[in-house]
Amino acid sequence: MTELETLRHSCAHVLANAILVLWPEAQFAAGPPTANGFYYDVDLSHRITPEDFKRLEKEMQKIIQAAQPFEREIISRQRALEMGRSGALAGLGPRPMPSVFKLDIIERIPANEEITLYRNGSFTDLCAGPHVADTSKIGAFQLTHVASAYYKGDEKNPQLQRIYGTAFATQEELEAYFNMLEEAKKRDHRKLGKELELFTFDEDVGPGLPMWLPKGTVLIEELEKLAKETEFQAGYQRVKTPHIAREQLYKTSGHLPYYAESMFPPMELQEESGGEKNIYYLKAMNCPHHHKLFGAVPRSYRDLPLRFAEYGTCYRYEQSGELMGLMRVRAMQMNDAHIYCTEEQFAHEFRAVNEMYLKYFKIFGIDRYQMRFSTHDPAKLGQKFVDHPQLWKKTEDMVRDVLVSSGINFVEVPNEAAFYGPKIDVQVWSAIGREFTLATNQVDFAVPRRFGLVYTTSENKKETPLCIHRAPLGTHERFIGFLIEHYAGAFPVWLAPEQVRVMPISDKVGNYAQRIVSELMASGVRASADLSSEKIGAKIRQAQLEKIPYMVVVGGREEAAGQLSLRSRQHGDEGVLLKNDFYQRLNDEIQKRS
């Protein structure tokens, strides 16, 4: 635990202590530090609201001012259980009710580990520590919000109130943190998406179903252009598949009934011929369709690796409480592709996919990311994971080798693999500190077999291919949500919905401004003229607020000389240059995606 975490965890104890002063019957579960502060889970019939925070903070302040030392004591398991039964754990002394959650926690402490108590004042808690020397070392704190959480995160367990707060060594740091939060709000993609007219939601369309306004659609199309170029160069072929499929497809793939609750409810239709009932599902993933494309034509080892790419639209019935702006939606377009290959080709293909990820990260300046390598748990073969121990071993070794030999920084997470094979998820952190799984790269050695996919080997035998699922740009929705926050809405020129705004000083040069716009548009640049009767300062302000990368100011002087006055979003006035010099510089910058 870092020093700050120790301080925050100590503050969580002080919070529990204060809650007990106000509500002596409160029962506590866990109270750890978090990335931004701390929380304590409490079971209490009184609903704690932000109005209660003032009273709680006052009690906490008293405890902190008293500079109560934190005392550590090692106790026997026997004694711990006794204290738990007497309600003294996370308590101010014995109580009529036992400390139920603490007793449960004691049960889970391995026999060889010592059990410790921490006391400050009259408050005693079961705790592994460590803590600050005394409560006065908690320099500055504030309770922030209250939410609910299931005990141990399991919805079968009782629901607890989770009181969140944050703490720092000094008041200045606390204030800096809240200022930072204010700044973060300004780059929230939901706020910027509205301000910049990128996308919108509508109640009549449905929750989690974003609609893209023209400016947001530009972002989508630029990303697709990038993906298509990149995938073309990497030997992918594009395919197109429908948004729905019969139930049988998902029975074959194994998604039904296992995945059914994440899918929109099926459509049932009585078809005219025969009167048979047909059930259709909206697709939640593209792989089954792609597998059918693989199987549509006899395949030879000479065809492999075969790479099918599609920006496929998928629909997932995410729980209503899970929806969050563009980051978690119910309709999404995936930068999907499936690579069918032999075992010999696997390492090479997998490496190439990873290199594609890195190439993209460089373009977008994403330097804070982590690859999470998810592997299976041998104990759960046949249940959570398909029962092919040797293939698990083989593919996991192959993936690990590729990661290690490429020098990619990764963490290995057991028991997190897909049911059909190991996978790599790419975690990124948006500029405002949110963590997301942005992209995924998965090995599948099971589903192609379920579909009976085969290719003919050089020895004229039938062999099932391995399949790599990959989506380096994730989904448009999440990726663009991320990019909005990453760039704070100030997109690089190649992505910017409007790349150049031309602003005449007065009506007299309106035609010249329009001529410049025509010339820019002729070379594919997204430009417009501001022909309003505003003064130049107002036009510039407007363009700056719209975060347009280049502003071109023209007056009589520029028109006479065939020049323009350039202003950039970041650097302000860049002086006068010839029109053609600007066009060249601009097109160069757009082409390089710099």
Partner RNA sequence: GCCGACGUAGCACAGUGGUAGUGCAGCUGAUUCGUAAUCAGCAGGUCAGGGGUUCGAAUCCCCUCGUCGGCUCCA
498-517 positions binding RNA, by CB under 7 A: 505-508
Q: How far is the CB of 107 from RNA (least distance, A)?
A: 20
Q: Is 194 in the site for RNA (CB under 7 A)?
A: yes
* Residue 491 buriedness (CB in 10 A; 0-12 / 13-18 / 19+): buried
Interaction between residue 555 and RNA (CB under 7 A): yes
C-alpha–C-alpha distance, residues 295 and 293, integer Å:
5
Select 262 or 406, whichever has its Cβ closest to RNA: 262
441: nearest Cα among 330, 346, 306: 346
- Does 208 bind RNA (CB under 7 A)? Our answer is yes
Instruction: Specify the residue, 40 or 123, whose C-beta has the smaller distance to RNA.
Output: 40
Distances (CA, A) of 94 to 101, 200, 364, 508: 15, 56, 58, 87
- Is residue 190 a contact residue for RNA (CB under 7 A)? yes
Q: In the window 259-298, what residues touch RNA (CB under 7 A)?
A: 262
Query: C-alpha distances in angstroms, 511 versus 257, 400, 525, 578, 589?
Result: 64, 62, 18, 17, 27
Contact between 535 and RNA per CB under 7 A: yes
Quick check: 457 binds RNA (CB under 7 A)? no
Nearer to RNA, 152 or 449 (CB): 152
CB 272 to RNA: min, Å: 34
User: Using the rule CB under 7 A, is 474 a contact of RNA?
Assistant: yes
Interaction residues for RNA, span 325-344 (CB under 7 A): 325, 327-329, 332, 334
Nearer to RNA, 145 or 362 (CB): 145
Q: What is the DSSP letter of 302?
A: G
**Beta pairing class for 211-212 and 115-120:** unpaired
Range in contact with RNA (rule: CB under 7 A) among 266-274, 359-367, 448-456, 528-536:
528-536
Residue 531 in contact with residue 510, Cβ under 8 Å?
yes
Alpha helices (H) in 332-440, listed in sequence order: 343-364, 389-405
Residues between 152 and 171 with contacts to RNA, criterion CB under 7 A: 153-155, 159, 161-162
**Complex with RNA: residue 72 or 508, whichever CB lies closer:** 508
81/263 with CB nearer RNA: 263
Cβ 278 to RNA shortest distance, Å:
27
Nearer to RNA, 98 or 288 (CB): 288
Residue written as tokens 């280049």? 550
Stretch (H or E) spanning 148: strand 140-150
Helix (H, G, I), strand (E, B) or coil at 261: helix
Q: Which of these segments, 19-27, 61-69, 135-143, 144-152, binds RNA (CB under 7 A)?
A: 144-152
CB of 580 to RNA, least distance (A): 18
List of E strands, 398-544: 410-414, 423-429, 435-444, 455-456, 462-463, 466-471, 500-504, 527-529
| One of 318, 343, 412, 463 touching RNA (CB under 7 A) | 318
DSSP state of 46: S
Position 150 contacts RNA (CB under 7 A): yes
Q: Does residue 430 interact with RNA by CB under 7 A?
A: no
Q: Which is nearer to RNA, 175 or 322 (CB)?
A: 322
Q: How far apart are CA 196 and CA 518, in angstroms?
A: 24
In this structure, the number of other CB atoms found within 10 A of the CB of residue 485 comes to 26
Q: Which two tokens stand for residue 501?
A: 């705004």
Cα 354 from Cα 313, distance rounded (Å): 23
Phi/psi class of residue 208: alpha, beta or left (left: φ > 0; alpha: ψ in -120 to 50)? Answer: left
Binding map of RNA across residues 219-238, x = CB under 7 A, - = no contact: --------------------
List binders of RNA among 20-79 (CB under 7 A). 47, 49
Q: Which stretch binds RNA (CB under 7 A): 79-87, 324-332, 347-355, 405-413?
A: 324-332
Q: Pick the binder of RNA from 567, 579, 582, 586 (CB under 7 A).
A: 567
Gap between the Cα atoms of 478 and 473, Å rounded: 9
Residues numbered 87-116 forming contacts with RNA, rule: CB under 7 A: none
Comparing C-alpha atoms, which of 458, 445, 465 is closest to residue 341?
A: 465
Q: Which is nearer to RNA, 169 or 577 (CB)?
A: 577
Q: Shortest gap between Cβ of 226 and RNA (angstroms)? A: 16
> Which amino acid does the sequence have at 124?
T
The span from the CA of 270 to the CA of 427, in Å, is 45
Of 207 and 389, CB closest to RNA: 207
Among 321, 365, 407, 524, binds RNA (CB under 7 A): 321
Residue with Cβ nearer RNA (124 or 166): 166
